[in-house]
Amino acid sequence: MMHGSICIWQRDMRVLQRNISSEAATVMAFPLTFFLTFGLGLKGYIQDIEGIPYALFVVPGLISMTAILGAFDDGSWGMWFHRVVQKTIEEYRVNPITVTDIIVGKIISGFTSGFLKGLAVGVCLFLLTGFQFNPLFLPGYLLFISLGCIMFSCLGSLAGTLIDKPENLGRLEAVVVMPFIFLAGLFFPLSAYPDSVLPYIKALPTTALFDGARLALLTGRIEPLYLGELLASAVISFFLAVRFFEKKMHG
């Protein structure tokens, strides 16, 4: 199974490499705009959050956002385009590659694309802000980012499998994905929520990702509940993506 998946992943990486300039410009523009608007534009009006300057508070979240949106977009639009427009998925099926090979390869591609985009934005923001962190805290942060990229690559692949109209993919990202990201404390601490609402917010997988990753990078603390929730979400989304893609391909 893995041989076919790796072949598909290698093909997608060659495409990404050919479009690296346009991809880099697009990927940098979105989080940097948020940073300039909120991190720098509002820092004079917002007090330090838990002893951390606001401009630095938002950095881990912007990196996380870039990574998971990159994974979701690659998974959803990549799957939709190859399935509906280019018919690449049908071409794969005439080769000695199983349906499971195809979906696993696309999920790995989405994960890789998202992780690399997050890494690129992270380097840029670290240079721009002078953000400093303990290098020993980095593995924990990358663990959360990796699980988040897996989950969103799976969810994106699932969306690209089930949705046939491109406008509906855009609506899904605007109405579901982005609100879940903003509700997770990207630009503010979770303590800002009323006590009656906070338990529901903490139950969101995106909260486990954003708050858990921020805690890991800034304090070195790995929150077991966040990690468990994120791991379970990644496993469930992987199972759903594979199951529904197999069902779609087999009619």
Closest CA to 103 of 244, 251, 250: 244
Q: Looking at 71-80, 124-133, 190-199, which range is the least confident one?
A: 124-133
Q: Is 184 helix (H, G, I), strand (E, B) or coil?
A: coil
pLDDT value of position 200:
93
Tell me the C-alpha distance between 71 and 149, whole Å: 6
Tell me the pLDDT of the chain averaged across its residues.
88
**pLDDT given at position 144:** 96
pLDDT score of 44: 64
Per-residue pLDDT of 208-248, as tens digits, reads: 999 999 999 988 999 999 999 999 999 999 999 999 999 98
Q: Judge whether residue 2 has pLDDT over 90.
A: no
Helix (H, G, I), strand (E, B) or coil at 52: strand
Q: From the CB of residue 111, how many other CB atoms can be counted at a distance below 10 Å? A: 25
List phi, psi (to 5°) of 196.
-75, -20
Quick one: pLDDT band at residue 162, thresholds 50, 70, 90?
very high
Cα 73 from chain centroid (whole Å)? 9
By residue range, what is the domain housing residue 131? 2-249
Q: How far apart are CA 31 and CA 212, in angstroms?
A: 19
136: helix, strand or coil = helix
Q: What residue spans of the chain are helical by DSSP H? A: 2-18, 20-34, 54-80, 88-93, 99-129, 138-162, 166-172, 178-183, 198-202, 205-219, 224-249
pLDDT digits (tens, 9 = 90+) for 33-70: 777 776 666 666 667 777 777 777 888 999 999 999 99
Token digits for 149?
A: 């990229």
- Over residues 177-216, the pLDDT tens digits come to 999 999 998 888 898 899 999 999 999 999 999 999 999 9
Paired tokens of 124: 């840029």
- Neighbour-count burial for 53-83, b at 16+ CB within 10 Å, e otherwise: bbbbbbbbbbbbbbbbbbbbbbbbbbbbebb
Give percent above pLDDT 90 in the chain: 57
When divided into structural domains, the chain yields a total of 1
Residue 43: what pLDDT? 62
User: What is the per-residue pLDDT for 41?
Assistant: 65
